[in-house]
A and B are shown apart, each in its own frame.
Chain A
Amino acid sequence: MSGLSFLLSLAYLGLALWAPGALSNLFGLGALGATALLRLPPQTRILNLALLTLAFTLGLWRSGNTLGLIGLVGILVALSTLPRIPTWIRALLGLAILLISVPLAGFANTFIFELGIQIGIYAAMALGLNVVVGMAGLLDLGYAAFFAVGAYTWAIFGSPQAQNFMQGNFPLPGEYMYPFMLIAIVTTAITGLLIGLPAVRLRGDYLAIVTLGLGEVVRILANNLDHPINLTNGPQGITPVERPPIGWFEDLIGSLGIQLDATTDYQLFFYLLVLLMIGLVVLVNLNLANSRFGRAWAAIREDEIAARSMGIPLLPTKLIAFMTGAAFSGAMGVIFAAQRTFVSPESFTLLASITILAMVILGGMGSIPGAILGAATLTILNLDILKTFSEFVRTNLPQIPSQVDPAKYERLVFGLILVLMMIFRPTGLIPERRHRAEMEEE
């Protein structure tokens, strides 16, 4: 068994060297599957994973085929879920993938940076929503509203937009983005308080409906606050939004011997920035889960009445969960606005809220690696697989009408994922310990 899987991995490394592309990457995914599912001794498994990391990196670097990225995500999942792998190896391989493999792949195909950034932004938001839904058990269907508030906070002041209602020199220079991330955390936390104060008094279903309604209110406001005072520029959205200057960053990577064009520079910069943010969010999440609040949230989630009888103050505890989740989303909103240099109400619809919710549920409510995996899966599915599949259908099967274009059926796919997950695996792909125990009890 172990010899076979080792040979498979080695074969893929050869393939990645001599014939990189979609087919060899598909073979690599097979080899990864074999490594993860066969009963292997830990040493073989570690060796295999390291070989596969090298091979996927090579394949990505030489061909830019995005299937390789799925392989890398798979290796990350394997690292975080497979038993008996020493921590230092996990950390080393994980960092190598995030800091070396993905950037190398990105130089070959900048779309991979774009994917990485989007996955990162969504992952950070899914982690934020995970605090609300997963830890505290409050179903929030208006989460994109906080993202919107964060994005507009920077978009309005980081573009000439603010001149419409304020004296002063706008746009603010790009380096103001960093303090604005803090400001956005404050504004979204306040929005979270405003939405949460009426909403969290309600239970379960009603809370969901009310957050959905208030989320829509924020979107309607973004859509219509172009008169009487032009705050948000209405449906046209705001563009261009300033980006932080990255001269120091160019010097830094230049001294490492990497010379890039301006676009790729920014992509790499935002990729690393998003990684840093995820690191921070994960740290905060871990600390919260083990804090007084984390335990209070779990208690409320399991049994509200029992929690109240134990002296946990319901309203403040729930509100803090709501505000924490909102704040994460606000900070990511600022990065989102700067990275795309464009903000419009289109990005903050109910679909966006549900997408983030689907990420949390797919990964496993309350589970940190789960939320990240959920974000990666759905973003790759939506931005890459469905689009590639559409292109494939269009070029190879032109007799199929364009109305069946798979890229247009994002909702169908998300909907099916939600329904099937709820029926067959409500704990998610990487369940959290306590959630799993809870579900098994039933």
Chain B
Amino acid sequence: MLEQILALLPQVIFDGLVLGFVYAMVALGYTMVYGVLELINFAHAEIFMIGAVVGVEVFRYLGPQIENGLILLLVALILAGAISGATAILVERFAYRPLRKRGTTNRLVPLVTAIGVSFVLQDLVRLIEGLWHNEFFLRMRTVEDLEGSFDLFGGAIFVQSKSLIVIVVSILMLLGLTYLVNRTKLGVAIRAVAQDLQTASLMGIDPDRIISRTFLIGGSLGGVAGVLFALQYTIITPYVGFLPGIKAFTAAVLGGIGNIPGAMLGGLVLGQLENFFGTYLPILTNGNLGTEYKDVVAFLLLVFILLVRPQGLLGQVVREKV
């Protein structure tokens, strides 16, 4: 049994890394919105799903026209980023902003709204896909350029080139986002709003615009992640966002919600753990516990972190204002 485990280990670590980067990208969106508004934007999972659906559609319709797989992917990423970002702005404008304007202090209100939005988006996508293709179980069209693969370390790791794309794109996204938040004027404004919305607006910042931009950035990152998810895992439905969404949230909490490198780290840790348990649980228990229990592990992990270290791995303790 031990040999079997060791033989699989490099592959498990690599696959966990790819999965982890997908979670990390989605977690960035949660963390940005939470950092600014202290709102768990449940609908982010659906923004991610919309990105994945756009990716599938681009590959379906532009695939025959565009020869080069990388360019096709680039088009898909840009379109998905734009559409997801726009959806996120609309959601903010029509669902969250009215609540903010009324100045509700009850924390349940925005959370319930977010759940409602998430349900609405799921069924809207289902409606559109149903009318368009008469189906909502979408399969990602394969493009030969992106389907290459090679072995590393004498066959110990089987690497698909699309996995490499996932890794590269998410590292680029992390770097870009870190630059944006720390070095640009918009970044300063976002941080100011996150610090204190009222004071920031006294300093000549329009909080609505900044919040809208934050949703745009978070949403487009979610959309990009969705395309890469579709590329990697190929089957997409309007309900596909739920599990990755909840896990990405777990990742964001694990890293310390509101903290950008933390979200990345949390995603990677969660990806490793999940892939580890997903592969080894059946082996360790002689097939008595199946791969399905990997989700249980993720949820229990979430509970555990929140109890032991609610501020997350890289987070800081937030003092409660009385």
Partners in one complex: yes
**Which residues in A have some Cβ–Cβ distance to B below 8 Å?**
133, 137, 139, 141, 198-199, 201-202, 204-206, 208-210, 212-214, 216-217, 220-221, 223-224, 227-228, 305, 350, 354, 357, 361, 401, 403-404, 408-409, 411-412, 414-419, 422-423, 426, 438-439, 442
Q: How far is the CA of A426 from the CA of B115 in the complex (A)?
A: 15
Closest chain A residue to B320, Cβ basis: A305
Q: How far is the CA of A404 from the CA of B184 in the complex (A)?
A: 46
| Centre residue among A209, A220, A404 by max chain B CB count within 10 A | A209
Against A, the Cβ 8 Å flags (1 = close, 0 = not) of B276-291 are 0000000000001010
How far does the Cβ of A354 sit from chain B's closest Cβ, in whole Å? 6
| Residues of chain A contacted by B320 (CB below 8 angstroms) | 305
Which of A141, A216, A354, A361 is B295 in contact with, Cβ under 8 Å?
Answer: A216
Is there an interface contact between A220 and B293, defined as CB atoms closer than 8 Å? yes
Question: Which stretch (B77-85, B99-107, B157-165, B191-199) binds chain A?
Answer: B99-107
Q: How far is the CA of A141 from the CA of B115 in the complex (A)?
A: 10
**7 smallest beta-carbon distances between A and B, as pairs:** A418-B116, A403-B130, A415-B119, A412-B123, A213-B299, A415-B120, A419-B116
Which of B112, B123, B295 is A220 in contact with, Cβ under 8 Å?
Answer: B295
Q: How far is the CA of A350 from the CA of B116 in the complex (A)?
A: 12
Is there an interface contact between A423 and B293, defined as CB atoms closer than 8 Å? no
Is there an interface contact between B303 and A354, defined as CB atoms closer than 8 Å? no
Which of B112, B131, B288, B303 is A213 in contact with, Cβ under 8 Å?
Answer: B303
Q: Does B307 contact A (CB under 8 A)?
A: yes
Tell me how many residue pairs across A and B have CB atoms closer than 8 Å.
Answer: 138
Interface residues of B in 113-156 (CB under 8 A from A): 113, 115-124, 126-127, 130-131, 134
How far does the Cβ of B129 sit from chain A's closest Cβ, in whole Å? 8
| Centre residue among A198, A214, A221, A423 by max chain B CB count within 10 A | A423
Interface residues of B in 69-117 (CB under 8 A from A): 95, 98-99, 102-113, 115-117
Q: Does B206 contact A (CB under 8 A)?
A: no
Q: Does B188 contact A (CB under 8 A)?
A: no
| Residues of chain A contacted by B310 (CB below 8 angstroms) | 202, 206
Interface of B is mostly: helix
| Residues of chain B contacted by A439 (CB below 8 angstroms) | 106
Q: How far is the CA of A202 from the CA of B292 in the complex (A)?
A: 27
Which of A199, A223, A228 is B292 in contact with, Cβ under 8 Å?
Answer: A223
| Residues of chain A contacted by B242 (CB below 8 angstroms) | 350
Q: How far is the CA of A417 from the CA of B119 in the complex (A)?
A: 10
Is there an interface contact between B108 and A415, defined as CB atoms closer than 8 Å? no
How far does the Cβ of B198 sit from chain A's closest Cβ, in whole Å? 16
Which of A212, A224, A414 is B293 in contact with, Cβ under 8 Å?
Answer: A224
Q: How far is the CA of A418 from the CA of B303 in the complex (A)?
A: 27
Q: How far is the CA of A414 from the CA of B232 in the complex (A)?
A: 32
Q: How far is the CA of A350 from the CA of B122 in the complex (A)?
A: 14
Is there an interface contact between A426 and B104, defined as CB atoms closer than 8 Å? yes
| Residues of chain B contacted by A417 (CB below 8 angstroms) | 116
Closest chain B residue to A204, Cβ basis: B107
Q: How far is the CA of A151 from the CA of B108 in the complex (A)?
A: 29
Is there an interface contact between A423 and B120, defined as CB atoms closer than 8 Å? no
Is there an interface contact between B111 and A206, defined as CB atoms closer than 8 Å? no
Is there an interface contact between B127 and A205, defined as CB atoms closer than 8 Å? no
Is there an interface contact between B113 and A216, defined as CB atoms closer than 8 Å? no
Interface residues of B in 220-246 (CB under 8 A from A): 242, 246
| Residues of chain B contacted by A403 (CB below 8 angstroms) | 127, 130-131, 134
Q: How far is the CA of A422 from the CA of B100 in the complex (A)?
A: 11
| Centre residue among A133, A205, A221, A228 by max chain B CB count within 10 A | A205
A/B interface sample: 10 pairs, CB < 8 A: A202-B306, A206-B253, A208-B40, A214-B303, A216-B295, A217-B300, A357-B112, A401-B130, A403-B130, A418-B112
Is there an interface contact between A139 and B130, defined as CB atoms closer than 8 Å? no
Q: How far is the CA of A318 from the CA of B255 in the complex (A)?
A: 28
| Residues of chain B contacted by A209 (CB below 8 angstroms) | 40, 246, 249, 253, 302
Q: Does B180 contact A (CB under 8 A)?
A: no
How far does the Cβ of A198 sit from chain B's closest Cβ, in whole Å? 5
Is there an interface contact between B116 and A415, defined as CB atoms closer than 8 Å? yes
Q: How far is the CA of A208 from the CA of B253 in the complex (A)?
A: 13
Closest chain A residue to B98, Cβ basis: A423
Is there an interface contact between B303 and A210, defined as CB atoms closer than 8 Å? yes
Is there an interface contact between B292 and A224, defined as CB atoms closer than 8 Å? yes
How far does the Cβ of A304 sit from chain B's closest Cβ, in whole Å? 9
Given known A-B contacts A201-B307, A418-B112, A426-B104, A411 and B290 have beta carbons under 8 A apart: no
Given known A-B contacts A201-B307, A209-B246, A426 and B109 have beta carbons under 8 A apart: yes
| Residues of chain A contacted by B121 (CB below 8 angstroms) | 415
Which of A204, A217, A224, A422 is B116 in contact with, Cβ under 8 Å?
Answer: A422
Which of B109, B122, B134, B302 is A210 in contact with, Cβ under 8 Å?
Answer: B302
